Amino acid sequence: MLLIALLGVAIASPTPATAEERTILVLGDSISAAYGIEPEQGWVQLLQDRLDATAPEYSVVNASISGETTGGGLARLPGALERHEPEVVIVELGGNDGLRGYPIARIRSNLARMVELSQDAGARVLLVGMLIPPNYGQRYLEAFRDTFRDVAENAAVPLVPFLLDGIATDDGMMQEDGIHPEADAQPMLLENLWPELVRLLEAVDG
């Protein structure tokens, strides 16, 4: 059983999936693009490594770009869906929108549309939430946080509330910019996301 195999242990491939492969598409920003560290140290590659050992039929395509926004991700998603035909799409976007103070309604609309497009393409979606620093004001901070929950609930998709949970407040785990996690934090990122992903893979496995 896939769940047992996956829990017993935890990519990045630019090539389309073959008929024998099942693809996980990661659409993210610098957090998923391994900013400031070696690509093989990033959580996406750690995910591929774990799957290689437990469920080798899965191939992870890392379509993450540093600086990406929800608008940019939305523009790129249709092409990525057509090319890779993923079974699972992990959407890790919104942090840059929040840091730039973009309107909450725009962020919510873009996230909801990415979920919708992925579902229409036959993929299951895992939405990954983010938080922003408190200096943006309590109202914006709460609205930004709640956006991910609202989109997930409306679309009935699982949510990882905060990918950097247990990491962002630990200076030793963050790079000097205070935004990007160090290499040592990458396994924790994967563990924060792993339980929800396992449940999705179980559903795909049938």
- At 59 the three-state DSSP class reads strand
pLDDT more than 70, % of the chain: 90
**Catalytic status, residue 30:** yes
**Catalytic status, residue 177:** yes
Q: Check residue 49 and give its pLDDT.
A: 98
- At 175 the three-state DSSP class reads coil
Question: Is the model's pLDDT at 9 over the cut of 90?
Answer: no
Q: Check residue 20 and give its pLDDT.
A: 64
Residue spans per domain, the chain: 2-201
Which of 29, 59, 64, 180 is catalytic? The answer is 180
Which of 13, 64, 177, 184 is catalytic? The answer is 177
Question: Is the model's pLDDT at 64 over the cut of 90?
Answer: yes
Q: Check residue 21 and give its pLDDT.
A: 85
- The mean pLDDT value for 12-34 works out to 77
Q: Check residue 55 and give its pLDDT.
A: 93
What is the value of pTM for the model shown?
0.90
Greater pLDDT, 184 or 19:
184
Q: Which CATH number fits domain 2-201: 3.40.50.1110, 1.20.120.520, 2.60.120.260, 3.30.2090.10?
A: 3.40.50.1110
Largest distance between two CA atoms of the chain: 49
Q: How would you classify residue 170: left for phi > 0, otherwise alpha for psi between -120 and 50, otherwise beta? A: beta
Which of 29, 30, 32, 97 is catalytic? The answer is 30
**Catalytic status, residue 180:** yes
- At 164 the three-state DSSP class reads coil
